């Protein structure tokens, strides 16, 4: 069960400032150009909570686009595992759900310490979405707009105050330190909170039935012609994978700087034919349609088979970033509505 509190809106900056004393504070900040990005917070009052989905997802704080892994110098190897304590404030429910899945992937029996170390040291303070974006479909995926479990701290915006839920052990410990800031929620607070949760559901413009999409694929109703028409619009930019909070493929490259070799990993995507190229020029996924299929099959078909959930949390980032408009929502919708194969 989670501990519940109430926080006066005016006390939020104070609380964040206290949190920042011990950890790096990362939150949504507005840039001069008008974009909002996750960045280290310099001025707490400039944090933007009313913002559309932010590109890229917070996975980059745990799994950066380029990360030096190993340094080799004079016969010695050093690993570059880092994890400065941090708190990410203002992320969304879908982001938290996505991190929980990625935790399972990078954690587990074979641990990727580059990821887990950073993750262990980071506290997530998410804010439920009273007003989802037109691109969002987390409700269809059960990953938002509010979470019932799997979060550290979740805030619900009740106008003049926040309804605060602390769920994980470390979150509860941290909350204990700030008892003086938080009040006990009254019955009215609970009711207001439920109303926010309840109302938010009415604002969704998109409902995507990935289960239906999956059934369509598995039952063989989707022919290659459908995938061909999808693929024809692909720009091979890789954006869908770079922006997806669940996609974690990487390439490993070696670079020689005077006397030191640096082995780094960089984000990679299965949308590229070189991703599976083998020596002698053999390309197991030369046809572009195979690569498009691979991504959708992995997320829609194999996900449920292997880990029990879809490889999508409905954050809508691929909808924003796909120049060809062949994102999960668009394609998922088409698939579930029944594909016209002609």
Partner 1 sequence: MDKIYTICPYCGCGCGLYLHTTGNRVTGVSPSRSHPVNRGTLCVKGWNSHEFINHPDRIAWPVRKTDRGLVRTSWEDALDITASKLSSIAGEYGPDSIGVLSSAKCSNEENYLMMKFARAVIGTNNVDHCARLCHSSTVGGLSGAFGSGAMTNSITEIDEARTLFVIGSNTTEQHPMIGMHMLKAVDRGATLIVADPRRTQIAEFAQIHLRHRSGTDVALLNSIMNVIILEGLVDIDFVKRRTENFGGLMNVVNYYTPPVGARITGVPAEAIKKAARIFATQQRSMLFYSMGITQHITGVDNVRSCANLIMLTGHIGQPYSGLNPLRGQNNVQGACDMGALPEFYSGYQKVSDPASRRKFRRAWGTKVPDKPGMALTDMIDAIGKGRIRALYIMGENPLMSDPDLTQVREAFRSLDFLVVQDIFISDTAGMADIVLPAASFAEKDGTYTNTERRVQKADRALRPYGEALPDWQIICRLANRMGYPMSYNGTYEIMEEIALLTPSYGGILHHRLDENSGLQWPCPDMNHTGTPYLHRKKFARGLGDFIPVEFLPPAEQVDDDYPMLLTTGRMYFHYHTGTMCRRTSTLEREEPECFVEINPSDGKRLCIRSGQPVNITSRRGGLEVKAMITEKTPEGTVFVPFHFREAAANILTNPACDPEVRIPEFKVCAVKVEPVAGKKTTRKPEEVDISKFWIERE
Partner 2 sequence: MKRVNIYTPFRAEIKEIEKKTADVNLYRIALPKRIKYSPGQFFMVSVWGAGEVPISITSHSAFSDGLELCVRKAGFVTSLIYNAEEGTDIWLRGPYGNGFPLDIAGNSDIVLIAGGIGMAPLRPLIYEFTNRNKKYGNVKLVYGSKYPDDVIFRDEIEVYKQMGAKVIVSVDRKNGEWDGNVGFVTDFLGSIKADMVSAVAYVCGPEIMIKNVTRDLSLMGMPHEKIITTLEAHMKCGVGKCGHCYAGCKYICTDGPVFSYKEIREYQLMQAWEDNK
Ligand X SMILES: Cc1cc2nc3c(=O)[nH]c(=O)nc-3n(C[C@H](O)[C@H](O)[C@H](O)COP(=O)(O)OP(=O)(O)OC[C@H]3O[C@@H](n4cnc5c(N)ncnc54)[C@H](O)[C@@H]3O)c2cc1C
In the complex, which residues of this chain contact ligand X (CB under 6 A)? 278-279
Of 42, 64, 168, give the one whose Cα is nearest residue 118.
64
Residues 131-170 that bind partner 1 (CB under 8 A): none
Q: Which is nearer to partner 2, 106 or 242 (CB)?
A: 106
- Enumerate residues 6+ apart whose C-beta is below 8 A from 295: 240, 241, 270, 271
Residue 17 binds what, of partner 2, ligand SF4, ligand X, none (CB under 5 to 8 Å, by partner type)?
none
**Dist. CA 301–CA 81, nearest whole Å:** 34
- What is the separation, in whole angstroms, between the first and last Cα of the chain? 52
Residue 112 binds what, of ligand X, partner 1, ligand SF4, none (CB under 5 to 8 Å, by partner type)?
none
Residue 113 binds what, of ligand X, ligand SF4, partner 2, none (CB under 5 to 8 Å, by partner type)?
partner 2
Among 177, 235, 306, 341, binds partner 1 (CB under 8 A): 235
180 binds partner 1 (CB under 8 A): no
268 binds partner 1 (CB under 8 A): yes
H/E element, 304? helix 303-306
Min CB(239)–partner 2 separation in Å: 17
**Dist. CA 244–CA 319, nearest whole Å:** 10
220 binds partner 1 (CB under 8 A): no
Burial class (CB in 10 A: 0-12, 13-18, 19+), 37: middle
Name the segment binding partner 1 (CB under 8 A); options: 30-38, 165-173, 198-206, 207-215. 30-38
Min CB(303)–partner 2 separation in Å: 9
Per this entry, what is the length of the chain?
342
Letters for 87-126 (x = contact with partner 2 by CB under 8 A, - = none) are ------------------xx---xxxxx------------
Coil, strand or helix at 229: helix
Question: Could you say which DSSP state residue 324 is in?
Answer: T
Both structure tokens of 25:
């504070």
**Dist. CA 189–CA 163, nearest whole Å:** 7
Interacting residues toward partner 2 by CB under 8 A: 69-70, 72, 75, 77, 79, 81, 105-106, 110-114, 248-256, 261, 263, 265, 268, 270, 275-280, 282-287, 290, 294, 297-298, 301-302, 305-306
């Amino acid at each position: 069960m989670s501990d519940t509190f109430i926080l006066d809106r005016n006390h939020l900056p104070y609380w964040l400032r206290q949190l920042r004393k011990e950890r790096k504070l990362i939150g949504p900040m507005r840039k001069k150009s008008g974009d909002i990005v996750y960045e280290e917070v310099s001025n707490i009052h400039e944090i933007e909570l009313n913002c559309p989905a932010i590109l890229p997802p917070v996975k980059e704080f745990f799994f950066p686009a380029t990360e030096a892994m190993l340094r080799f110098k004079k016969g010695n190897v050093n690993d570059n595992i880092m994890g400065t304590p941090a708190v990410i404030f203002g992320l969304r429910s879908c982001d938290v759900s996505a991190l929980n899945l990625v935790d399972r992937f990078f954690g587990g029996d074979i641990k990727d310490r580059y990821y887990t170390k950073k993750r262990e040291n980071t506290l997530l303070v998410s804010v439920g979405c009273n007003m989802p974006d037109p691109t969002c479909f987390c409700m269809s995926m059960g990953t938002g707009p509010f979470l019932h479990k799997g979060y550290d701290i979740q805030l619900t915006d009740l106008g003049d105050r926040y309804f605060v839920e602390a769920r994980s052990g470390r979150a509860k410990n941290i909350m204990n330190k700030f008892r003086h800031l938080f009040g006990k929620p009254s019955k009215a607070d609970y009711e207001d909170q439920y109303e926010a949760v309840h109302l938010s559901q009415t604002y969704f413009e998109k409902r995507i039935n990935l289960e239906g999409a999956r059934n369509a694929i598995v039952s063989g109703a989707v022919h290659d012609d459908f995938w061909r028409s999808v693929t024809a619009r692909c720009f091979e930019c890789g954006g869908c994978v770079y922006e997806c909070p669940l996609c974690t493929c990487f390439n490993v490259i070696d670079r020689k700087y005077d006397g030191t070799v640096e082995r780094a990993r960089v984000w990679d995507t299965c949308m590229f034919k070189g991703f599976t190229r083998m020596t002698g020029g053999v390309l197991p996924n030369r046809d572009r349609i195979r690569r498009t299929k691979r991504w959708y099959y992995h997320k829609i078909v194999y996900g449920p088979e292997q880990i029990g959930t879809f490889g999508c949390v409905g954050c809508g980032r691929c909808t924003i970033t796909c120049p060809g408009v062949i994102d999960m929502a668009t394609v998922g919708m088409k698939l579930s509505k029944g594909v016209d194969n002609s």
